[in-house]
Amino acid sequence: MHQATAGRPTHNSADRPEGWWKSSVVYQIYPRSFADSNGDGIGDIPGITAKVGYLHRLGIDVVWLSPVYRSPMDDNGYDISDYQDVDPLFGTIAELDELIAELHSRGMKLVMDLVVNHTSDEHPWFIESRDAASPKRNWYWWLPPRDGFEPGGEGAEPTNWGSAFSGSAWKLDEASGEYFLHMFSPKQPDLNWENPDVRHAVYEMMNWWVDRGVDGFRMDVINLISKPTWIGDGPVGPDTKYSSCFAAIENGHRLNEFLAEMNAAVGLSERRLITVGEMPGSTIESARAVTDPANRELDMVFTFEHVGLDARPGGSKFDLHPLTLPALKQNLNAWQVGLADVGWNSLYWDNHDQPRAVSRFGDDSPEHRINSAKTLATVQHMHRGTPYVYQGEELGMTNTYFTHVDQYQDIESVNYHADAISLGLEAETVMAGLAAKSRDNARTPMQWDDSLQAGFTDGIPWLPVNPNYVTINAAAAEADPNSVFHHFRRLIELRRTHPVLVEGRFKLLLPDHEQIWAVTRTLGDQVLVMVANCSSEPTMMPLAAVPDLAEAQILLATHGPATLERLEPWESRIYLLDSGNDLAQPAP
């Protein structure tokens, strides 16, 4: 039974002025790893509520909660068996209401994760759908074996699609002799969005949450909901027998139609909710269509292009490939240019699926960790779009560097390891791929203080804490005015005091420079100039290529007073050029 919302305060769109999410900063919480209030080693909702003051001090506007719904936890909650209840591991729906009230009382908002490309195989819809005669049969994708094959025979799957978590994307259901589609784990069957009953059930559930007081949705792999009309084999690479189901499905032909329908049915635009669609494989063109306000679909999307640059083209994400600064900044620039007039960008380095930003794009050695974490934050916030901060990023938390495969818990990492070894890859290469890219890097417990288990739990944490918690932790960071935490706080504050950071036109300078990331943001008479040395070696700024900074005011810097031209390793500065004078003109 789902608890009704009658008699409870309903949505508060009055607190959500038009376009409010553009000036906001979103903080992502992965509940399992954030704060444990009851000593079972797993973070929970009361744990989050107790930390709202911390989030408020950081200055963030919106909290995005990764899933807390009822789930068998095959993929840590991205496999939902009841969309309208909280899993007992995380607490109760009443505790979630308390969290919403606590956030709202401080002027903050809550975004729920909406996982509707698939459900859990333990969701009542799927349980019913297993019966071939049930009216819910076509709520999911059921197909017979390939022509001429017996169910369960080698190669009998309807297509050669591989799932994102290794193996075939089809699983046989013995009882009916048919296969169901699962782009992720076999416990995450894909919903059939062609069926209007599915869509309306989802919209009804979303409305229930909005009436309960949530302020928006982050939509999990939303560009996979529209499947192709033709379901057939795709091309297969040299190292696998499967084709990419993503390549077959991304951005299906009815995506825009479904999103517009959802927007109207839930009143996403009308109630001024914040919406961000996770869209692996999205292109600038598809993102423009989805985020063009005239189309009334979503506010912004998470693109994956920049987090794919350190993987070998055509290989898996664990297939490491050197990343160059020009490639990274030119990619972000293309998105800035592409969404300059229409739509809006989301800005992220980190989330629960990505390794830690400071270890990946920065330098997590003791010498450079702090400045590289600060500089990455500066670069992120100086782009035009809504910044997303992932828990612990504001502390410069690092990758975990597990050395043994048994330490990994994430389904993707565990399956990849087994698969890669069985295909004959060197164990060392596989472990190096995991060390760099495993999702568990982002999932080690939040480091609150230097007490046992980093103050995350009184029990045994579900994933080991990173031993560096003794020095890298929130208590130490809040006490140190020069910490990464305070750098983030100042950046967030700058967004409030300088609207140019929100709306200002973006321009990339020095696109080919191997060390320096330099940009300008311009709004009316105000120009912000960012110069950032994104390397662990000092460098000299080519002064002719940036605006004249001699008279400019420094708004935020990683280092103390310095000469204009020389940039120390990972040194970055944001300058403000005064209103209406010639200094504001970038050099040609």
Q: Which residues are catalytic?
A: 220, 278
Give me the least distance between CB of 85 and ligand NOJ, in Å please. 18
- Report how far apart the first and last C-alpha atoms of the chain are (Å, whole number): 65
**DSSP assignments along 459-526, one per residue:** S--SSPPPGGGGTS-HHHHHH-TTSHHHHHHHHHHHHHH-THHHHPEEEEE-TT-SSEEEEEEEETTE
Q: Give the three-class secondary structure for 235.
A: coil
Buried b (16+ CB within 10 A) or exposed e, 80-107: bbbbbbbbebbbbbebbbebbebbbeee
- The Cα 6–Cα 16 span in angstroms is 22
Give me the least distance between CB of 76 and ligand NOJ, in Å please. 7
Nearer to ligand NOJ, 163 or 539 (CB): 163
Give me the least distance between CB of 56 and ligand NOJ, in Å please. 26
**Window 473-512: contact mask with ligand NOJ (x via CB under 6 A):** ----------------------------------------
Site for ligand NOJ in 201-230 (CB under 6 A): 220-221
Give me the least distance between CB of 403 and ligand NOJ, in Å please. 24
CA dihedral over 245, 247, 251, 253, signed as positive or negative: negative
**Window 309-348: contact mask with ligand NOJ (x via CB under 6 A):** ----------------------------------------
Nearer to ligand NOJ, 256 or 415 (CB): 415
Instruction: Tokens 């089809």: give the residue.
Output: 170
Query: In 71-204, where do the E strands start and end?
Result: 82-86, 109-114, 142-143, 161-162, 170-173, 178-181
Nearer to ligand NOJ, 145 or 162 (CB): 162
**Window 171-190: contact mask with ligand NOJ (x via CB under 6 A):** -------------x------
Nearer to ligand NOJ, 171 or 507 (CB): 171
Site for ligand NOJ in 271-290 (CB under 6 A): 278
Give me the least distance between CB of 228 and ligand NOJ, in Å please. 19
Site for ligand NOJ in 373-432 (CB under 6 A): none
The token pair at 26 is: 């979103």
Give me the least distance between CB of 75 and ligand NOJ, in Å please. 5
Nearer to ligand NOJ, 434 or 549 (CB): 434
Position 353 contacts ligand NOJ (CB under 6 A): yes
**Window 61-100: contact mask with ligand NOJ (x via CB under 6 A):** --------------x--x----------------------
Nearer to ligand NOJ, 62 or 156 (CB): 62
- How many residues bind ligand NOJ (CB under 6 A)? The answer is 9
Q: Could you tell me which residues are beta bridge partners of residue 59?
A: none
- The Cα 218–Cα 302 span in angstroms is 9
Pick from 380, 5, 375, 20: which is nearest to 205 by CA?
Answer: 5
Helix residue ranges per DSSP H, 106-195: 124-129
Nearer to ligand NOJ, 353 or 364 (CB): 353
- The Cα 66–Cα 43 span in angstroms is 12
**Residue least distant from ligand NOJ (Cβ):** 78
Position 350 contacts ligand NOJ (CB under 6 A): no
- The Cα 288–Cα 498 span in angstroms is 26
Interface residues with ligand NOJ (CB under 6 A) are 75, 78, 115, 184, 220-221, 278, 352-353
